Amino acid sequence: MATTPETVFEPDTGAPSALQEKARRHLWMHFTRMGAYDDTHEIPVITRGEGCYVYDEHGKRYLDGLSALFCVNAGHGRAELGEAAARQAKELGFFTNWSYAHPVAIELAERIASLAPGDLNRVFFTSGGSEAVESAWKLARQFHKVNGDPLRTKIISREVAYHGTTFGAISITGITPLRTPFEPLVPGAHHVPNTNSYRWPEDRDPLWAADQIEHMIEFQGPETVAAVILEPVQNSGGCFVPQDGYWQRVREICDRHGVLLIADEVICSWGRLGHYFGIERFGVVPDMITTAKGLTSAYAPMGGVIASDRIAEPFMRDTETFTHGITFGGHPVSAAVAMANLDIFESEDLCGQVRAKEGQFRQMLDAIHDDLPIVGDVRGAGYFHALELVKDKETKETFTHEESEELLRGFMSGELFKRGLICRADDRGDPVIQLSPPLIADAEQFEEIDSVLRSVLTDAWDRIVRH
């Protein structure tokens, strides 16, 4: 599971602050071992942000190497985004998109459509990423039903992939420990191998993982499969990149069997891979894109499903309706923030910034891999990379569950935070360190990341392996 700095973050003051006491008593944090916090282990309370940095309640500065949670793409402290929200709240704080429209949602939908690949021209807004994934599966199922294929209800995703926490989305998610507490889940979600070629036999066909999707479609019966959903670069497990030709093969497989292809871009869209949509990097047009996070740079909650004209067309006829809705989908304040965020993307060419600097970012990570025995692999794209940690670089031997627990939660996560770097130490799969800095990050931030990672990884090797 994803880790936090909970186990070793010691308070900077003698007595807990009022915020600490209130947080421990009343705030239920997400995916967090709440019992780990006490008078000697503080909850990290972040109070402000500026650029690539955030500050805690004690005034200590941290480099935000994760863009909060892969989402503050334009960086912290963008006053113009708050000003856009205030202007919109003054004019129209809220009105629903249930049978009504308002100007800023209309303008944002048109703008997103102009940036999306191919004929993805119709935008269904949600409040966030899980709801976007949930909505996409429902749309795929109803699309097939209105087109005379009511048996097409199933969806195929990848092992270790994370697609959200609502009931449909967690069913699609391929991470067993996240699924089992809530079983039985929504039926019809099936999982195939991912593209982690670091753990493959050397002689494996590079398109083996793509072909496993066709095998699953045929095994389930093509007439029962509604959609395949994949991230352009898979987050969980540590930034698994597709093999050359993978997306083209998957597109061909889906077309051959009448299955819809959904690109889950909750993380990969809005510049994370150097393009407005990460799928553009791989030269394929899906039938739907799910998005969220960087759409507003997380200054306001918003997500959406971007559907092709072909998918939308049946719902534009006569009395047909996509029987689904979310109260805050297309919220005018969030939409105004998104419009202002995209203005920043255009004026500062943030996608171009990532393309120009990703080589330098990757070169820094590759040098760490070359120099430190604990780093077995570096992978990723754009400003979205991971280091896989191993006990033996030659054999790729990984850590046991107990060793991983000590390595990530017992030492590294908290130590990275203590030394001023926020990133993700994760063991949803083999142990990795994930980095996803704001798109404005440059050489200065890369040097800081390098310095902290080298020192902490060296200490981790001495502590866990050499001891």
Report the mean per-residue pLDDT for the chain.
95
Give, in order, the Cα–Cα distances in Å from 258 to each of 139, 228, 289, 367: 15, 11, 18, 45
Q: In the prediction, which pLDDT does 2 show?
A: 47
Whole-angstrom distance, CA of residue 428 vs CA of residue 388: 12
Do 335 and 84 contact (CB within 8 A), yes or no?
A: no
With a pLDDT cut of 90, the percent of the chain lying above it is: 89
Compare 402 and 356 and report the one with higher pLDDT: 356
Closest CA to 435 of 65, 2, 54: 65
Q: Walk me through the domains of the chain, giving residue ranges and CATH numbers.
A: 5-77+350-466 (3.90.1150.10), 79-348 (3.40.640.10)
Do 32 and 64 contact (CB within 8 A), yes or no?
A: no
Q: Residue 409: helix, strand or coil by DSSP?
A: helix
pLDDT in tens, 222-276: 999 999 999 999 999 999 999 999 999 999 999 999 999 999 999 999 999 999 9
Q: In the prediction, which pLDDT does 423 show?
A: 96
In this predicted structure, the answer to whether residue 341 has a pLDDT above a threshold of 70 is yes
pLDDT in tens, 173-231: 999 999 999 999 999 999 999 999 999 999 999 999 999 999 999 999 999 999 999 99
Question: What is the number of other CB atoms lying within 10 angstroms of the CB of residue 147?
Answer: 12
In this predicted structure, the answer to whether residue 40 has a pLDDT above a threshold of 60 is yes
Whole-angstrom distance, CA of residue 25 vs CA of residue 6: 16
Whole-angstrom distance, CA of residue 412 vs CA of residue 427: 12
Compare 409 and 307 and report the one with higher pLDDT: 307
pLDDT confidence bin for 467, thresholds 50/70/90? low
Q: In the prediction, which pLDDT does 69 show?
A: 97
Question: What average pLDDT does the segment 281-298 reach?
Answer: 98
In this predicted structure, the answer to whether residue 1 has a pLDDT above a threshold of 60 is no
pLDDT confidence bin for 10, thresholds 50/70/90? low
In this predicted structure, the answer to whether residue 9 has a pLDDT above a threshold of 70 is no
Compare 214 and 1 and report the one with higher pLDDT: 214
Q: In the prediction, which pLDDT does 453 show?
A: 98
Q: In the prediction, which pLDDT does 429 show?
A: 78
Tokens at residue 340, please? 């202002």
Give, in order, the Cα–Cα distances in Å from 332 to each of 101, 107, 163, 296, 301: 10, 11, 26, 12, 11
**217 Cβ neighbours under 8 A, 6+ residues apart:** 156, 225, 228, 253, 257, 259
CA 310 to chain centroid, in Å, comes to: 27
Report H helices in 71-188. 79-91, 103-115, 129-146, 167-172, 176-179
Question: What average pLDDT does the segment 387-413 reach?
Answer: 91
pLDDT confidence bin for 291, thresholds 50/70/90? very high
In this predicted structure, the answer to whether residue 329 has a pLDDT above a threshold of 70 is yes
Q: In the prediction, which pLDDT does 129 show?
A: 97
DSSP state of 429: S
Question: What is the number of other CB atoms lying within 10 angstroms of the CB of residue 432?
Answer: 24
Continuous segment of H or E residues that includes residue 48: strand 46-50
Q: Residues for the chain: how many in total?
A: 467
pLDDT confidence bin for 14, thresholds 50/70/90? low
Give, in order, the Cα–Cα distances in Å from 140 to each of 16, 129, 136, 154, 174: 50, 17, 6, 9, 19
